[in-house]
């Protein structure tokens, strides 16, 4: 899952990136409205965390433009404007959720999990496909009740596939959800992660759709 953080407070942006990466998200950050709109138009993330107090544009205008250009983009507004009228304006302008500063990271993560479920086929934090259970709240994966040891990338890849069970995920989509800007990606990295997951989950769990990508099917 790729998240774009739009926040001009560098300390807060860095803290958010660290917390989100620990939860196995791919995170990128920009500090202005114009930068945010450029990214949303050219490298659309899955979820955008948008601060309304930006230095170059009013956050509500960024929100309206982002919503008009990418109707399916999930947008969580993050702001110090906590008055109820401001919340109503934000939600009416296209925000999917609204979180006032200061906030606790666990609450932010819970709200992100709700937005994630809107993007995929999962209906709760626990995703069960056959004998495999993945819990997005605890970052645990169980096979027949036994916990598996997965690397961060393996977990992120498996999560993306299981959250979209039955849907083909393209190579480009999966790589975008695994890596942030500037990270070096080997040409065969995705195939290596898939190979490792098949060794742990069984060779038939992840299906290859030739020329397209990968898919996990519900038995």
| Residue 98 and residue 167 share a domain | no
We report the CATH number of the domain holding residue 174 as 1.10.10.10
Share of the chain above pLDDT 70, in %: 97
pLDDT at 182 over 80: no
| Residue 185 and residue 100 share a domain | no
DSSP 114: H
The number of distinct structural domains making up the chain is 2
| Residue 167 and residue 92 share a domain | no
| Residue 6 and residue 111 share a domain | yes
Task: Count CA atoms within 13 Å of residue 114 on its CB side.
Answer: 10
| Residue 133 and residue 198 share a domain | yes
pLDDT at 90: 78
| Residue 23 and residue 115 share a domain | yes
In contact, 12 and 39? CB cutoff 8 Å: no
Q: What is the per-residue pLDDT across 60-96, written as a single tens digit (0 to 9) for each?
A: 999 999 999 999 899 999 887 666 777 788 788 889 9
Which residue, 64, 93, 119, sits at the end of a domain? Answer: 119
pLDDT at 122: 67
Predicted TM-score of the model (pTM): 0.78
Kindly list the distances between the CA atom of residue 76 and the CA atoms of 38, 91, 92, 138, in Å, as whole numbers in the listed order.
18, 10, 13, 22
pLDDT at 48 over 90: yes
Q: What is the per-residue pLDDT across 18-46, written as a single tens digit (0 to 9) for each?
A: 999 999 899 999 999 999 999 999 989 99
| Residue 203 and residue 106 share a domain | no
Which residue, 90, 119, 148, sits at the end of a domain? Answer: 119
Please tell me which residue, 119 or 77, carries the higher pLDDT value.
Answer: 77
Peptide bond into 63 cis (omega under 30): no
pLDDT at 121: 62
pLDDT band at residue 184 under the 50/70/90 scheme: confident
Between CA 139 and CA 125 the distance in angstroms is 10
| Residue 44 and residue 24 share a domain | yes
We report the CATH number of the domain holding residue 107 as 3.40.50.2300
pLDDT at 203: 92
| Residue 28 and residue 82 share a domain | yes
| Residue 59 and residue 158 share a domain | no
Domain that holds residue 212: 126-216
| Residue 141 and residue 108 share a domain | no
């Amino acid at each position: 899952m790729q998240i774009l953080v739009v926040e001009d407070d560098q300390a807060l942006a860095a803290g958010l990136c660290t917390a989100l990466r620990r939860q196995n998200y791919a995170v990128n950050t920009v500090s202005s409205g114009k930068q945010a709109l450029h990214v949303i138009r050219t490298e659309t993330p899955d979820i955008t965390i948008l601060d309304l107090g930006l230095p170059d544009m009013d956050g509500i205008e960024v929100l309206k433009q982002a919503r008009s250009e990418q109707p399916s983009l999930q947008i969580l507004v993050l702001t110090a404007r906590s008055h109820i009228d401001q919340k109503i304006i934000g939600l009416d302008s296209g925000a999917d959720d609204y979180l006032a500063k200061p906030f606790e990271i666990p609450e932010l993560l819970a709200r992100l999990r709700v937005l994630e479920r809107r993007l995929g086929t999962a209906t709760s934090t626990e995703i069960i496909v056959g004998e495999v259970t993945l819990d997005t709240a605890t970052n645990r994966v169980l096979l027949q009740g036994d916990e598996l040891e997965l690397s961060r990338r393996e977990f992120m890849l498996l999560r993306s596939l299981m959250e979209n069970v039955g849907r083909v995920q393209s190579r480009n989509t999966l790589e975008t959800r695994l890596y942030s800007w500037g990270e070096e990606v080997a040409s065969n990295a995705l195939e290596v992660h898939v190979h490792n997951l098949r060794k742990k989950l069984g060779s038939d769990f992840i299906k290859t759709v030739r020329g397209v990508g990968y898919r996990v099917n519900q038995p």
